[in-house]
Amino acid sequence: MTQDEMKKAAGWAALKYVVPGSIVGVGTGSTVNHFIDALATMKDEIKGAVSSSVASTERLKGFGIPVFDLNDVDTLSVYVDGADEINATRDMIKGGGAALTREKIVAAVADQFICIIDNTKTVDVLGTFPLPVEVIPMAREYVAREIRALGGNPVWREGVITDNGNIILDVKGMAITDAKQLETQLNSIVGVVTNGLFAHRGADVVLIGTPDGVVTQQG
């Protein structure tokens, strides 16, 4: 089974968490693209979606699924999104697709975070995947120095501008044993918009595509 087939299995498995008649929070990435394809098969049973990126919005609209502005929506029963790494307590690194800020905002509104991944994304300790940090452009070098002082090695993702007009620093070389603490520390650096640690709001349910089928983990 290829990695993409495992992503597809996880994406389609998330359909059963979609509440008929509701608005669905939709993340970003290749695994989520499979979820959007699946969601299109029940588009007449949902009100629509709130999207975390321009790319996902375009895909949703391409299927005729209405996309709502988050400001017009009070509640979301589920938010479905992928991850770059996830540990046993369901803390995640996200933002490989540079959509971390909108992902974190939509996830904050949702009652349940359904994480869809293939089996290469599970880790004992977060940090092998470089941790994305979205930064206001003029603060890039200041934030980089502050992150170096915390022991990380920030690398500017040159050529990438987020949907919010900001830049991304990918932080290498950190073995993240206290994800909540580091999430808070990074957020307190002036110029940081968001960091890709999803620990204060981790996943509630994890659907892992494996060669033997989809494995479900939850607290």
Applying CB under 6 A, the residues found at the interface with ligand 5RP are: 27-31, 81-84, 94-100, 103
Q: Which residue among 45, 58, 85, 103 is the active-site one?
A: 103
Query: Which residues lie below 8 Å from residue 22, measured CB to CB, with a gap of 6+?
Result: 46, 47, 76, 77, 78
Polymer length in residues for the chain: 219
CB 96 within 8 A of CB 29: yes
Write the single-letter amino acid at 162: T
Q: Is the CB of 24 or the CB of 149 nearer to ligand 5RP? A: 24
Q: Is the CB of 65 or the CB of 100 nearer to ligand 5RP? A: 100
Instruction: Give the neighbor-by-neighbor strand order of the sheet with 205-210.
Output: 48-51, 23-26, 76-81, 110-118, 205-210, 213-218
Judge whether 103 counts as a catalytic residue.
Answer: yes
Within 110-167, residue ranges assigned H as helices are 140-149
Shortest separation between residue 196's beta carbon and ligand 5RP, angstroms: 7
Q: What is the Cβ-side half-sphere exposure of residue 56, based on CA atoms within 13 angstroms?
A: 32
Q: Is the CB of 142 or the CB of 155 nearer to ligand 5RP? A: 155
Where is the binding site for substrate, in residues? 28-31, 81-84, 94-97, 121
Shortest separation between residue 102's beta carbon and ligand 5RP, angstroms: 9
Q: Is the CB of 97 or the CB of 152 nearer to ligand 5RP? A: 97
Q: Which residues are the active-site residues? A: 103
